[in-house]
Amino acid sequence: MDILKNIYLSFNFIKNNSLFDNDINLISLVFKIFIFYLFIKLNISKVFIYFKNFINKSINKENRKILLFFISLIFFNILIYNLSDILPNDLLKNIFKKEFNIVATSNINITFSFSIISFLIINYLSIKKNGISNFILYFLKNPIKKKYMFFFNFIIEFISFVMKPISLSLRLFGNIFSSEIIFNLINNMNIFFNILLNLLWGIFHYLVLPLQAYIFTTLITIYVSQSLKH
């Protein structure tokens, strides 16, 4: 377990993880190009149409374009990072003689980066529509619109406000990280259970990978919709 913590929970990401090395960047770039090629072959426009229809139902016209661009970008980045788990990690380690984890979303630094950027976009759209004064007053006047409850309201709403980016990042990280731990545990079993459980868990795991990208972008849209109604 300590080994897994050192690999996946290291905050000293640049120093201890070789993901930023040129050769790993090259692998990542080639893989991204390959995945985008597959998306184009499978008619990528269907994904944008789905996002557009979903946004049109919940977001006002003024903010639709920027949100469509942002969640499409986030969705495909997370999806590609998740699908990089398909690459043979152990084989790449042997080729480059290095220890690295190519699944970026199993590192908490990456998932927090996605959530913080999303959090800034959410609050930018909210301030743009409602103004900075109304944005701040929301923390004081909700959920109870009484002056003597302002301090209580602020505590509740501020905790909720801070928990949004944390929950976004930990949800994505936790699902990918836990799945990687299970694969590591299965690999320590005998050959029969190794093959059987890897097959069973692998089927479930590769269904979860695109689902996590969808959940992340759906939550962003919901948070934006809520913030614009403040």
pLDDT in tens, 61-77: 777 888 888 888 888 88
Most confident of 47-56, 100-109, 123-132: 123-132
Q: Is the per-residue pLDDT at 19 higher than 50?
A: no
Q: Which of 84-88, 159-163, 217-221 has the lowest mean pLDDT?
A: 84-88
Burial (CB < 10 A; 0-12, 13-18, 19+), residue 14, is: exposed
pTM reported for the whole predicted model = 0.75
Kindly calculate the radius of gyration of the chain based on its CA atoms and give it in whole angstroms: 21
Q: What percent of the chain has pLDDT over 70?
A: 73
Q: Which of 70-84, 94-108, 113-127, 179-193 has the lowest mean pLDDT?
A: 94-108
Residue type, 178: S
CA–CA separation, 123 vs 223, rounded Å?
9
Domain count, the chain: 1
Q: Which of 69-83, 92-106, 203-217 has the lowest mean pLDDT?
A: 92-106
Domain hosting residue 166, numbered range: 1-14+23-99+106-229
